[in-house]
Amino acid sequence: MSRNKPARIGLSARIFHPEPDAQGIRSKTLQVLEQSVAQWVTVRDVLLLMVPSVVQDGILMRSNIRLRDYAEHLDGLILQGGADVSPRAYGEEPLRPEWAGDPVRDAYEMELLHEFMEAKKPVLGICRGMQLINVALGGSLFQDLPTQCPGAVAHESGEYDRNAHSVAFAENSQLVRWFGGAAGGRVASIHHQAINRLGRDLAMEAHAQDGVVEAIRGTGRGFVFGVQWHPEFHQQAGIELLDCAPILEAFLAAARP
């Protein structure tokens, strides 16, 4: 990619809501990005911009700048990981209070996703981001793999980003082509929810040994792709994980001005 005109990539915000009875910064709404995501993307001469959201019922008012304007002026979108997607977004009630997710973030990211898709700009979803794409396109999720899918491999553990398992690429998938015919690899896994019913115009690109969907691809026009794992954590020392550079390169090729 030319250094004279780097791709301009938007990154959705992780939202931390005010904590009850907190003081100082924890009494405020925080919108942040995870450093590892930013570093994984910007090694490719990319201008990365976190796209802010105005929180529902907040004291800030929307300006004339809309999420549509970000989709118009940026070259692509990455939906980063974080809180659960609310089951209410796919027509279910939370089976436990702690699985209720973040409806405010859901609404913001769904609007952002649809604007970039409408503008025919590429979208890459990571972990929650992949689940959000699926739900936004009419799919559903397992609210909790350990209780709803007994026998599933450990998709999360106390080791956090050092928890890993193998994935297999689907036959004739984009992943097989991007990775030069490779069959799969080991990935960093930090999730307890997963795709149940695939959304419209989506195809499975990879799965875990227990059948859990680990990557999806949009089958319509434009680049829409999601991975359930965390490629931004794959360069840590002492653990052999899949080099996900081909996924990033494909996304940036689609975003190239």
Token output for 37? 């995501």
Task: Spell out a b/e string for 119-152, using b for 16 or more CB atoms within 10 Å of the CB, else e.
Answer: eebbbbbbbbbbbbbbbbbebbbbbbbeeebeeb
Spatial neighbors of 208 by CB under 8 A, at least 6 apart, are 152, 153, 155, 165, 166, 167, 168, 214
- The verdict on whether 192 is a catalytic residue reads no
Encode pLDDT of 29-87 as tens digits: 888 888 899 999 988 889 999 998 864 555 445 556 688 889 999 999 999 999 999 99
Does 217 reside within a domain?
yes
* 228: CATH: 3.40.50.880
- The verdict on whether 244 is a catalytic residue reads no
- Residue 210's pLDDT is 95
| Lowest mean pLDDT, pick from 62-71, 137-146, 199-208, 231-240 | 62-71
Could you tell me the residue range of the domain that residue 166 belongs to? 7-255
- Residue 221's pLDDT is 83
Number of domains in the chain: 1
Does 175 reside within a domain?
yes
- The verdict on whether 230 is a catalytic residue reads yes
- Residue 1's pLDDT is 46
Of the listed 109, 115, 127, 234, which one is catalytic? 127
pTM score of the predicted model: 0.92
Q: Calculate the average pLDDT of the chain.
A: 91
Does 236 reside within a domain?
yes
Of the listed 109, 207, 232, 244, which one is catalytic? 232
Of the listed 109, 230, 234, 244, which one is catalytic? 230
The CA distance from 252 to 76, in Å, is 8
The CA distance from 11 to 50, in Å, is 5
Q: How confident is the model at residue 231 (pLDDT cuts 50, 70, 90)?
A: very high
Encode pLDDT of 187-197 as tens digits: 999 999 999 99
